[in-house]
Amino acid sequence: MLKQLCHYAFISVAKLGLTMEEVEELLNDTEQLCTLSGIRGVLMYDGRGFFQIMEGRQDVINRRLPEILSNPHHTEIVPVLDQTVDIPVFDKWETVINGAFLDPQMQEHLLQFVNVEVREEAFSDKQQKTLQAHSKVKAPIPAD
């Protein structure tokens, strides 16, 4: 049986006092873990927080999520995407610090995901502030 492919993305706030050495170690560890697990996508750090999108088999991502989400280097985790997909978008794993260069193909893929719109009632006040603090994510849509 073919395993379902999915995308899972979140934003989060970096822990207070996170050093660049810790960021680099986290990015390297994540890249190794994802590459070994067959997960593609990107993890970006902008000096304040993280944006991560993973693409891979749903069962593999579901096994890795608890470890990723419980990492003490970030808090106020806000899921912004969780969906199954038919066609892969990413061909590798990439990490980015403070807007460092992404290859043009990866930039094009990310544009599909960073302007995520979400409904306001789905998030706590703290999560809404996290969403609004990340300039790449549109502010939540007011409830109808």
What pLDDT score does 121 carry?
47
Element (H, E) at 101: none
pLDDT digits (tens, 9 = 90+) for 73-128: 998 888 888 999 888 888 888 887 765 555 556 555 555 555 444 444 444 565 55
Phi, psi of 121 (to 5 degrees): -70, -10
- Domain borders along the chain are 5-101
Give the distance, in angstroms, between the CA of residue 123 and the centroid of all CA atoms in the same chain: 17
pTM (predicted TM-score): 0.71
Choose between 116 and 34: higher pLDDT.
34
Contact yes or no for 73/16 (Cβ under 8 A): no
The CATH number assigned to the domain with range 5-101 reads 3.30.70.100
3-state secondary structure of 74: strand
Choose between 135 and 63: higher pLDDT.
63
Residues 33-45 have a mean pLDDT of 90
